[in-house]
Amino acid sequence: NPYKNIMTNIDTMNLKTDWTTVREIYAEGLSTGLAAFMSKPPSRADWDAAHLTFGRLVARQNEAVLGWAALSPVAEREGPPESLRLAQGKGIGAGLLEGLIAASEAEAYWTLQAQIMAENHTSRALHSKCGLREIGIRDRLGHLGGVWHDVVLLERRSERTGGPGLPTHSCD
């Protein structure tokens, strides 16, 4: 396995140069049927319009993009941080999610939300590990492949930007 002892850097996404690989990783995630309620990735322009200008991250090994994550202004139906299947389980998703948390706090956001298909236990566990807590289930929210899916709503409140007493957690 070439990703066994993976050393990655979390970096700001350059949409112009990284989009081809980001789109491929996006498509791979969509092929699982657990990432989002769509069958193909959006165009670069549509993706760009749907995401904030900060908090667009990639995980790199040297120059190769192994995963990505991005913030959108509201809890979209987009899935969790995506990484190449061969690289999964190597801390890339946690690194990307920690990067999103840091980026949101740098911009004074105090609440992060995620919506994840109930069947996506791996993503739910990752988000929980990084301090997002499950706050509810939205029944039959999305339809994909002839099947209705429940979506779990997760939330993280920043103690740094939201004040004392709010829950905070690292991915350790």
**Residue 152 β-bridge partners:** 116, 137
The pLDDT of 48-73, averaged and rounded, is: 92
pTM: 0.80
Supply the pLDDT for residue 8.
Answer: 80
pLDDT 10s digits, 61-81: 988 999 999 999 874 544 556
Predicted pLDDT of residue 1? 35
Report the run of H or E that residue 160 belongs to, with start and end. helix 159-162
Provide the mean pLDDT of the chain. 85
Q: Is a pLDDT exceeding 70 seen at residue 133?
A: yes
Given this model, what pLDDT does residue 2 score? 41
